Amino acid sequence: MRSSPQRKRREFFVVGGGPAGMEAARVAALRGHDVTLYEKEPKLHGLVNLASMIKEVNDENLPALISYLQRQVEKRVLKSFPGAKSTSLSLKGSSRMW
């Protein structure tokens, strides 16, 4: 799926550096928006690393998916704050939040 650039550039704050948060940040950045990603853990991955260790989960592509999304965030997202605890006060006045 291709993301076309939007006419009006906006500022987005994405809270959560799991797969969904990283993908939301990636797509918004591809559309030309300024994106800041907040994650409380020191690394971006969410619970996927834990899920990939469960024997019943036979999807060996989970670590590859996380590596891909981490690279995309590094390349495209304006600011990324792993290890940062965002609060409603730190995001007050933001125009958009996902």
> For the segment 41-53, what is each residue's pLDDT rounded down to a tens digit?
888 888 877 777 7
Secondary structure letter of residue 86 according to DSSP: -
Total tally of structural domains belonging to the chain: 1
Asked if residue 1 belongs to a domain, the reply is: no
Tokens at 90, concatenated: 């730190």
The verdict on residue 59 lying in a domain is yes
Its domain, for residue 82, covers 11-88
Q: What is the pTM of this model?
A: 0.73
We report the CATH number of the domain holding residue 49 as 3.40.50.720
Pick from 72, 46, 48, 67: which is nearest to 59 by CA? Answer: 48
| C-beta of residue 81 within 8 angstroms of C-beta of residue 37 | yes
Residue 24 included in any domain: yes
pLDDT digits 0-9 by tens, 69-85? 999 988 888 787 777 77
The DSSP call for residue 35 is E
